[in-house]
A and B are shown apart, each in its own frame.
Chain A
């Protein structure tokens, strides 16, 4: 079964850091671009960052560029998002997702991990 499981969320103070993980299973992780999408409480979906299969490109939303870093470890079938200089507006559920069956459409999602930035 194809599965993505996020972890690493929690409560952090403004200015703090957190590292999110996404454990992948059931597919050839190293063949796919992976993506993080977030959703603030009661709000819509926001694409955050994507990384290509061999980390040759990484793209970021303007709202997180310079503060967040996406990475992956293909040997461990894992995707990461390092969150630095956190702000209250980064409070959200963070989902990892990827395009399994169709290019350019996220058909597989994890269950999400909650990040709360508050003093």
Chain B
């Protein structure tokens, strides 16, 4: 199975800050990497697909990059609605593994 490792596991930041979350795959997955946001009690929401493509309706202050084994999600100018848990997920092959999540909290 392909292991996905996110860092950090948690992160404190303030409104207006820029944050970066990283995701590393245990083997090359090309750009088969997606990012999701989840808030408590809610289903996940797709943010970024194919490593760097913004899903419709997602604000442009979010961006994704990377290929192969190393990927990043960057959020510029944090807004109150961005405080949530973020997951990466590989769709290169089944089982479609997720990272363990990064909880973004308000400082």
Whether a CB of chain B sits under 8 angstroms from the CB of A109 is: yes
The reply to whether B46 and A47 form a contact with Cβ atoms under 8 Å apart is no
CB neighbours (8 Å) of B98 from chain A are 44-47
Give which listed residue, B32, B55, B95, B99, contacts A104 with CB less than 8 A: B32
Interface check B67, CB cutoff 8 A: no
Q: Are A62 and B49 in contact (CB under 8 A)?
A: no
How distant is B86 from chain A, measured CB to nearest CB, in Å? Answer: 11
Q: Roughly how many angstroms separate A37 CA and B94 CA in the complex, as a whole number?
A: 13
Minimal Cβ-Cβ distance residue in A for B4: A44
* A59 located at the interface, meaning its Cβ lies under 8 Å from any Cβ of chain B in the complex: yes
* Distance between Cα atoms of A119 and B43 in the complex (Å): 28
Is B56 a contact of A101 with CB atoms below 8 Å?
Answer: yes
Partner pick for A101 among B32, B34, B55, CB 8 A cutoff: B55
> Total interface residues on B, using CB and 8 Å?
26
Q: By the criterion CB–CB under 8 Å, are A47 and B94 in contact?
A: yes
Complexed CA–CA distance, A59 and B1 (Å):
13
Contact residue among B36, B55, B89 (Cβ-Cβ distance under 8 Å from A102): B55
Contact of B55 among A35, A47, A107 (CB under 8 A): A107
Give the most central of A61, A106, A110: most B CB within 10 Å. Answer: A106
CB-CB under 8 A from A91, the residues of chain B are none
Contacting B44 at CB < 8 Å: which of A61, A62, A104, A109? A109
- If the complex has contacts A44-B99, A59-B94, A109-B44, are A104 and B34 also in contact, measured as CB distance less than 8 A? yes
Q: Measured between alpha carbons, how far is A109 from B34 in the docked complex, in Å?
A: 15
**C-alpha spacing A106/B91, complex, angstroms:** 10
**B43 near A105: Cβ-Cβ < 8 Å:** no
Residues 69-113 of A at the B interface (beta carbon under 8 Å): 95, 97, 101-102, 104-107, 109-112
Q: Is A116 close to B, CB under 8 A?
A: no
Report yes or no: B55 in contact with A45, Cβ–Cβ below 8 A.
Answer: no
Binding site for A on B (CB under 8 A): 1, 32, 34, 36, 38, 42-46, 49-50, 53, 55-56, 87, 89, 91, 94-101
